[in-house]
Amino acid sequence: MALSLALPGAGQHVLKERRQWAYLALEVAGWASYLNRRHAAIDLRRRYRDFAWENGRIQNGERVDGPFAYYEALSKWTQSGAFDSDGGAPGVQPETDPATYNGSVWNLATRIFFPGGMPVPETDPAYRSALAYYQENAFGTALLWDWSGTPETQNEFAGLIHQSDHRFSQATTVLGVVIANHLISAADAYLSARGGAGGTRLRIVPSERTTGPAWWAVLSVPWSG
């Protein structure tokens, strides 16, 4: 059982069962598929980051790449808006245009912290709380963008993100199959060692509960009450 848990098919090999080849083949194919999909996802991630920098980002200094949530926002919002709408004034003056991403963050902050949504003086604690929320959730000067006038370019960028996310999702699914193969092989080896696995067989069957390519690993074990 321990051998099969470490390497699917190893326990079956010791027990001289031909099922070892099915487990081993699934292990090799699973890792190959996982590495292929993860490599493709990472390559697409590099491509959409480069694409955003070259086509949508406002280049005002050294390039800074944000987290995935940042690129999701780039794919959905035409403009980031400014982070500080008045650089000449002391402190941070939030973007107020709700049609921009940063403006929507400030709009949300005012609805959360301002009593009744009414404006309050900048010296009011409610204003300081709203400003702190804005500074934490809005994107700073190094991460601003503007897709104005090029919706087709933004759509192309969104397509690259979708492809990358899909490849990462596929890699995660395949990794789950690899782990399941280890567990099933171990369980099969345990039953075989106890002499209760006569007629046991592993089948890979297509799933009827999902769309697209997906499979179930089914271990059939005879049982007598």
pLDDT tens figures, 37-48: 999 999 999 999
Phi/psi-derived region of residue 41, left when phi > 0, alpha when psi is between -120 and 50, beta in every other case:
alpha
pLDDT of residue 12: 83
Task: Give the angle subtended at the CA of 197 by the CAs of 16 and 183, to the nearest 5°.
Answer: 85
How does pLDDT run across 1-13, given as a tens digit for each residue? 888 888 888 888 8
Query: Where do the H-state alpha helices sit in the chain?
Result: 2-6, 10-14, 20-55, 68-76, 101-113, 125-137, 151-193
Helix (H) or strand (E) holding 206: strand 201-206
- Write down the pLDDT at residue 189: 84
Give the C-alpha separation, 32 to 82, whole Å: 45
What's the distance, CA 65 to chain centroid? 16
Span 92-143, pLDDT tens digits: 999 999 999 999 999 999 999 998 878 888 899 999 999 999 999 999 999 9
Q: pLDDT tens digits, residue range 44-88? A: 999 999 999 999 999 888 999 999 999 999 999 999 999 999 988
- Give helix 151-193 / helix 20-55 axis angle, nearest 10°: 160
pTM of the prediction? Answer: 0.76
For the chain, how many residues are written? 225
Mind spelling out the 3-state secondary structure of 190-205?
Answer: HHHHCCCCCCCEEEEE
Look at residue 1 in the predicted model and tell me its pLDDT.
Answer: 84
Averaged over 167-188, what is the pLDDT? 92
